[in-house]
Amino acid sequence: MSVNRDHEWWRGAVIYQIYPRSFLDTNGDGIGDLIGIAEGLEYVADLGVDGIWISPFFKSPMDDFGYDVSDYLDVDPMFGHLSDFDQIVTTAHDLGLKVIIDQVYSHTSSQHAWFEESRQSGDNPKSDWYVWADAKLDGSPPNNWQSTFACPAWTWDARRQQYYMHNFLPSQPDLNLHNVEVQDALLDVARFWLERGVDGFRLDAINCGMHDPELRDNPPAPPGIRNETRPSFMQLPKYNMSHDAMPEVLERLREVADAYGPVFTVAEVGTPDPLATMKEYTVGTKRLNTAYGFEFLGTQELTPERVKEILGGWAGEPDEGWPSWAFSNHDAPRAVSRWGTDFELSHRARLISLLQLSLRGNIFVYQGEELGLPQAHIPFEKLQDPEAFTNWPHTLGRDGARTPMPWKHDQRYAGFSTKEPWLPVGRDHQQLAVDTQQGDPGSVLSFFRQIIQLRKSSPALKYGEIEFIDAPKGVLAFVRTTHEESAYCVFNLGNDPIEWSLPDNPEIRVCAEVGINSSGGEVPTSLGGYCGYVGFEK
C-alpha cells in the first residue's frame, strides 16, 4: 500500500480545541473571552501543537452556548468584538499556529433574522429556508422524528400554522439545505471568515444538514443499538439526517475553501454508525479533508479490540479520506475519567495521551487534557447545560467537561477570572493548574509536550501507515511505517502485568513510555498494567 506523501499542513496535525467560555476571562465577568484566547496563545504554541480550533463565539442567545447562532458574521458581545478575533488570527499566525473555527450550518438560532422572516408566512422570500411541514389531521407532528434533547424534532409555530423541524433544541430550527439559496448564503459566510484569515472550518453536526423531503418515519433502533436514556436513541436516524445529497453541498464548500489555499475542513458526524458517512464526506479530493465521530468520545471502556475496530475502518485505501480522532471534547466526559480508573490520575493521563498521539490521523486535543484534568462534578443547582437538566441523573451531561481552565493554583477561581465563573472550577483542578506543572519535568504537561515533539519529529507517527501486530489479550500493538522509519507502539490496556515482547525481535529504541522502567531505551519484556511505549527501529 502506498503512502500519501502530499503532506498538507493539516495531515497528521495536532489541533488544540479552545472552548471560549472557559479558557480565560480578561474582563472579570466570569466568562472567557476572545482577548483571553489571544493572551493564552503563547502557552498553546509552547505545547507544540499545529493549530487551534475555537468553539463558537458568534452572536447567540446562548440557549446551547453558541451552537445556536443568531448572526454568523459577528462576535457575541460577551466574547468581545470582531477586532478581538482579528487579533487572535494575527497572534496565532505570528506564533506559527493555524486557526480553525466552528461553522454551524445545519441549523441557526430561532432569533436569527432568516428564521424570523421565514416564520412570518408561507410565501415570503425565506419561507423555504427552514424545514416546515403541516400537522397531521389529528394535529400531531408530521412524523416520529426525535431531537437529541429528548423531545420531538418538531415544534408548532402559530404564525405559520405549521411545524418546524429541529434536530436539537426547539430554539435551533434546522436550515433547509435542499434550497440552493440557503447553500449560497452559507458559502458567503465561509468566505467572510476566510477573508479574515482563518485556516479552516470544523463543521458542526454537518450530517444533520439535510433531511428526507418525504418526511418518512425513522425505524426503531435494534436491541444492540437501542438506548432508552432518551427518545432519539430509540430510533435509527435514517431520515432526519445523512441525506444522500449532502456530499454535493460539501463539494461546493470545498471549492470555495480551495480558492483560499490549503484550507482545512473537518466534519463532525454524530450517528450510531458514523463510518460510512465520514468516508462518504471525505472520499477523493473534492469533498472535505477529514471527519471525526463519537467512536472514542462515546467509548466507556478502552480495549484493544475497540481501538482496532475504530481504526480498522481507515486502512488507507486508494481515494480514502483521512481520519481524525478526539478522545475528549466539550460534548463528552473527559477520557481520563472514563478509562483506566484503577490507576493514578497522572498515570492515566500520560498513557491516554501517548496512545492518542500515536494514532494515524489528525489529533484533536481538548483544553485541559494536557494537564490531565478529570471530569468535574457539578451539583444540580450549578448545572447550565440543557442536556444535563433533561437527562439528570441518567447521564453526566456536558458541564463537567466545560469547567474553567485552571491557570494558577494559588488564586481564587484558579486564575481563570476574578469573579465567580459561569461554571465552578473543578474540585481537583486547582492543584493541576498550569503554573504548578510548567516547570516540573515530571508533570503531565511536560510529558505531553515531549510526546508532541516526538510526533512532530517522526514521519512515521505523523503520516505513516498502520499495521496491527498480534498480541496477547489486553495488549494493543501496532507499527506505523513510512519509507524512512518504523515506529512500534505497544500498550497494555488491562490491569494485569503481561510477559510479552514484540515478535521477530526487531531492534527498537524506546523513546516514550508510561509505566515501564526501561533502561537505555531497551524494549521491555514485561508489560505492567495500563502501560505502554513507543519505540523506533534502530
Q: Give the catalytic positions in this structure.
A: 204, 268
DSSP string, 219-245: PBPPTTT--TTSGGGGB--SSSS--TT
What does the alpha-carbon distance between residue 247 and residue 265 come to, in Å, rounded to a whole number?
A: 13
Strand order from edge to edge, sheet including 162-165: 132-133, 162-165, 154-157
User: For residue 528, what is its C-alpha cell?
Assistant: 505492567
Residue with the three cell numbers 521491555: 524
What does the alpha-carbon distance between residue 77 and residue 362 come to, in Å, rounded to a whole number?
A: 32
Residue with the three cell numbers 454524530: 270
DSSP string, 157-178: ETTTTEEEE-SS-TTSPBB-TT
What does the alpha-carbon distance between residue 342 and residue 492 come to, in Å, rounded to a whole number?
A: 13
Residues written for the chain: 538
Strands 290-292, 322-326: pairing kind: parallel
CB-neighbour burial class of residue 117 (10 A; exposed 0-12, middle 13-18, buried 19+) = middle
Using CA atoms, how far residue 118 sits from 36, 183, 438, in Å, is 37, 16, 52
Assess whether the previous peptide bond of 424 is cis (omega < 30° from 0).
Answer: no
Asked whether the beta carbons of 447 and 421 are under 8 A apart, the reply is no
Strands 154-157, 200-203: pairing kind: unpaired
Asked whether the beta carbons of 20 and 37 are under 8 A apart, the reply is yes
User: For residue 352, what is its C-alpha cell?
Assistant: 491516554
- Cα three-residue angle 132-135-141, rounded to 5 degrees: 85
- Which helix (H) or strand (E) segment holds residue 35: the answer is helix 34-47
Q: Residues with Cβ < 8 Å from 51, sequence gap 6 or more? A: 10, 13, 15, 16, 92, 97, 98, 99, 100, 199, 200, 264
DSSP string, 120-133: T-SSSTTTTSB-EE
